[in-house]
Amino acid sequence: DRIARRQDREFSEFRKRLKNTEQFKVTGGVFDDATFAALYKLVQDGYIEAIGGPISTGKEADVFEALAPEDETVAIKVYRINASDFRQMRDYLEGDPRFENIRGDKKRVVLAWVKKEYGNLLRAKKAGVRVPDPIAVQRNVLVMEYLGDETRAAPTLDDADLGNPETAYEVVREYIRRLYDAGLVHGDLSEYNLVVDDGELVVIDVGQAVTVHHPNSEEFLRRDCRNVANFFAREGVDADGDDLYDYVVSE
Ligand code: ADP
Ligand code: MN
């Protein structure tokens, strides 16, 4: 068991390295053992080399920059098993044929959720919607393409320089429609889950996206359309939630 002992040692060194980094003092967040193990596995598998600064601290998950091999930057989203509102998460898994047999404990629901976010990113990408490229999932950690540059992560739409709001609205409208054609409804779409990366609109945070089989998918789609249309109407675009909904579901 020399190998096992060596792995233990490497693991605890990796953990020390993480614990010593400044940003964990800033966020006050400390990863639990299983999360450390997941991050370590991602290191061993060659997806990441080191964790960088936090981009965002949320209720359910934190997003960090991470260094990947060949000097690439990636983003990692680390879900908190314990803080998550798993009852609500479970409701969002309902009716999704990919996750039919998920019931029971918190951990299983959160882990299914992370896989769902990864799967939704893939599906959105295939449907021609610009999303962060999904790279890997390990337990409660999602690795994806980093959006932004060396100085900062890409701003969300509410903070971004819109350029021409009419054009931006048309792009988002097309995204919602393509998602819907691919059988997906985002479910939490607004100016806060769209970012502008180098002038390009990108849809993020697709963990809660449901398939059209979900009993509330129509209600979620109406709400997404309302949020988006209201935002653009405030930017001076002639946009309306009901019109947007009709456009999305029309043949
Ligand atoms: P939450 O569930 O906490 O809202 P999000 O997926 O929306 O999680 O991510 C939170 C924030 O992290 C986003 O508003 C965005 O600023 C940033 N973010 C998320 N994904 C990426 C990414 N791939 N690249 C850069 N920043 C990101
Ligand atoms: Mn979000």
Dihedral of CA atoms 115, 157, 64, 116 in degrees, nearest 10, equals 0
Higher model confidence: residue 9 or residue 204?
204
Asked whether the predicted pLDDT for residue 236 surpasses 60, the reply is yes
Q: 2-145 has which fold?
A: Phosphorylase Kinase; domain 1 (3.30.200)
- Read off the pLDDT of residues 116-144 as tens digits, 9 standing for 90 and up: 999 999 999 999 999 999 999 999 999 99
Angle between helices 241-249 and 217-234 (to 10 degrees): 130
Which pLDDT band, with edges at 50, 70 and 90, does 29 fall under? low
Position in ligand 1 atom list of the atom nearest CA 63: 12
44 Cα to the center of ligand 1, angstroms: 25
Of the candidates 166, 238, 204, the residue with the CA atom closest to the CA atom of residue 75: 204
Mean pLDDT, residues 105-122 taken together: 91
Angle between helices 241-249 and 165-181 (to 10 degrees): 40
State the average pLDDT for the chain.
Answer: 89
Measured CA to CA in angstroms, residue 195 lies from 33, 46, 90, 157, 212 at distances of 32, 27, 27, 5, 24
43 Cα to the center of ligand 2, angstroms: 26
Instruction: Give the residue extent of every domain in the chain.
Output: 2-145, 157-249
61 lines ligand 1 (CB under 6 A): yes
pLDDT of residue 62: 94
- Which ligand neighbours the alpha carbon of 66 most closely? 1
Give the residue whose CA is nearest to atom 23 of ligand 1. 146
Q: Which CATH class is domain 157-249?
A: mainly alpha
251 Cα to the center of ligand 1, angstroms: 32
204 lines ligand 1 (CB under 6 A): yes
Percent of the chain having pLDDT more than 90?
66
pLDDT of residue 104: 66
Q: Is 205 a catalytic residue?
A: yes
pLDDT of residue 28: 43
- How remote is the C-alpha of 64 from its chain's centroid? 12
Asked whether the predicted pLDDT for residue 23 surpasses 60, the reply is no
Out of 62, 96, 205, 224, the active site residue is 205
196 lines ligand 1 (CB under 6 A): no
Which pLDDT band, with edges at 50, 70 and 90, does 96 fall under? confident
93 lines ligand 1 (CB under 6 A): no
Check if the beta carbon of residue 75 is closer than 8 Å to that of residue 68.
no
pTM, to two decimals? 0.89
Residues with Cβ within 8 Å of 119's Cβ and at least 6 positions away in sequence, in order, are 98
142 lines ligand 1 (CB under 6 A): no
Mean pLDDT, residues 148-157 taken together: 95
Asked whether the predicted pLDDT for residue 192 surpasses 80, the reply is yes
Q: Is 188 a catalytic residue?
A: yes
- Read off the pLDDT of residues 34-92 as tens digits, 9 standing for 90 and up: 898 999 999 999 999 989 889 999 888 999 999 999 989 999 999 988 776 777 777 77
- Read off the pLDDT of residues 214-234 as tens digits, 9 standing for 90 and up: 999 999 999 999 999 999 999
Mean pLDDT, residues 19-27 taken together: 44
Check if the beta carbon of residue 76 is closer than 8 Å to that of residue 100.
no
53 lines ligand 1 (CB under 6 A): no
Mean pLDDT, residues 110-118 taken together: 93
Out of 188, 224, 238, 240, the active site residue is 188
Position in ligand 1 atom list of the atom nearest CA 146: 24
- Which ligand neighbours the alpha carbon of 64 most closely? 1
